[in-house]
């Protein structure tokens, strides 16, 4: 297991890589599809294989609440429970307890919180998070961290990062599942020097990969890129780099140009459930009345099952009638759109034309 850089772009920091995990090889840069509760919403594992999904994400917080550690352990881990044979990455739950706002309280040991389901009291810290990820048996486990809000005062960022670093060390010291890699998470808000400090200290601890967290939490896009620029130079060249929570095409390309290898986001499945299709030239609201008679595919030139077989008119009809097939077909298209985008991006790096690819993506930016 490990990571290998196969090729670097001559004009940017973009790179092609290969991450070998206990459940298979991942070609990078990669977009990872989110399966929070052990499923990518509305899709079966065989769908994911056909859509060329490489990695599925599970979420420690949500899986701890439902179905719980005992049930996943009885199934032999999440791979067997959900019948997915490929790699799985698990979030630590840090972002989820951050999002609970008034329902949580941080201490040095971790976070006391109330379940968003029924208000039941729970506790999650480095020890508990890593124990749950060990039961899940994910190929990549994330350290438990504190996600900072935007905006955030400097002193709070300083204090939070120091706690995140202590938690990172504790997370690494906990037992892990066989073959399980562990990634550290760089925090620091919009403060470049704090992010640099966090990155350098995480590297001293030593992890299998490094994520950049605390982005896509409401900050302007420029601050997102700033967080990446403030972190990447201090992360090892021979380890994968992962920006958490990004799923917009031009943002993916811009971050790849900055040296990022891995991404995840709920956008493909979430917007599908609201009747929106992702395309290279921007999102399309399929529910709009102008598509009522349109017999063309969701996206011209797309080769997914949805676009090969069904029209915008038909999918709009399904959505208007609240038929499950409508959101399933849009999800198939959206997942394929992101996975195919990343495959084309990898090919552009391989073929020394990433610069032209990036400019084309910028021209399509919404």
Q: Which residues are the active-site residues? A: 91, 264
Structure token digits, residue 104: 């949580």
Cβ(7)–Cβ(16) under 8 Å? yes
What's the distance, Cα to Cα, between the start and end of the chain in Å? 39
**Residue with the two structure tokens 């290969």:** 18
Whether 140 and 113 have beta carbons less than 8 Å apart is answered as no
Residue 119 DSSP one-character state: -
Two structure tokens written together for 105 = 């309280």
- Dist. CA 161–CA 214, nearest whole Å: 11
Q: Is 242 exposed, middle or buried (0-12, 13-18, 19+ CB in 10 A)?
A: buried
Residue 256 phi/psi, 5° resolution?
Answer: -60, -40
Q: How many CB atoms lie within 10 A of CB 50?
A: 15
Distance in angstroms (rounded) separating the CA atoms of residues 114 and 51 = 37
Q: Which residues contact 71 (CB under 8 A, 6 or more apart)?
A: 81
Residues 6 or more apart from 80 whose CB is under 8 A from it?
Answer: none
Handedness of CA 248, 251, 255, 256 (dihedral sign): positive
23/59 Cα distance (integer angstroms): 18
HSE, side-chain direction, 13 A CA sphere, residue 322 = 0
284-285 and 276-277 beta bridge pairing: antiparallel
Are 148 and 160 contacting, i.e. CB atoms less than 8 angstroms apart? yes
Q: Which 8-state DSSP code applies to residue 241?
A: E
């Amino acid at each position: 297991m490990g990571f290998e850089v196969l090729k670097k772009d001559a004009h940017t920091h973009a790179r092609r890589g290969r991450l070998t995990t206990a459940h298979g090889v991942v070609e990078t840069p990669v977009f990872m599809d989110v399966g929070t509760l052990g499923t990518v919403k509305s899709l079966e594992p065989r769908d994911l294989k056909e859509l060329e999904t490489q990695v599925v994400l599970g979420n420690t917080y949500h899986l701890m609440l439902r179905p719980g550690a005992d049930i996943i352990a009885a199934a032999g881990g999440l791979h067997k429970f959900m019948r997915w044979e490929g790699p799985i990455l698990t979030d630590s739950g840090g972002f989820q307890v951050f999002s609970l706002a008034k329902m949580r309280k941080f201490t040095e040991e971790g976070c006391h919180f109330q379940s968003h389901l029924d208000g039941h009291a729970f506790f999650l810290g480095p020890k508990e998070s890593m124990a749950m990820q060990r039961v899940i048996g994910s190929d990549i486990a994330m350290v438990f961290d504190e996600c900072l809000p935007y905006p955030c005062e400097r002193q709070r960022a300083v204090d939070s990062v120091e706690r995140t670093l202590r938690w990172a060390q504790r997370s690494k010291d906990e037992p892990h599942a066989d073959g399980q890699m562990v990634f550290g998470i760089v925090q620091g808000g919009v403060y470049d020097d704090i992010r640099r400090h966090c990155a350098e200290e995480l590297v001293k601890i030593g992890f299998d990969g490094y994520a950049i967290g605390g982005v896509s939490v409401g900050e302007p896009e420029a601050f997102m890129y700033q967080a990446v620029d403030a972190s990447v130079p201090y992360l090892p060249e021979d380890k994968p780099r992962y920006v958490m929570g990004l799923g917009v095409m031009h943002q993916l390309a811009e971050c790849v140009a900055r040296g990022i290898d891995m991404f995840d986001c709920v956008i493909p499945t979430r917007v599908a459930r609201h009747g929106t299709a992702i395309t290279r030239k921007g999102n399309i609201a399929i529910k709009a009345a102008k598509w009522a008679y349109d017999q063309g595919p969701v996206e011209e030139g797309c080769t997914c099952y949805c676009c090969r077989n069904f029209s915008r008119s038909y999918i709009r009809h399904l959505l208007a009638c609240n038929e499950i097939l409508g959101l399933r077909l849009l999800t198939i298209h959206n997942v394929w759109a992101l996975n195919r985008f990343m495959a084309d991006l990898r090919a552009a790096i391989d073929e020394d034309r990433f610069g032209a690819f990036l400019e084309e993506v910028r021209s399509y930016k919404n």
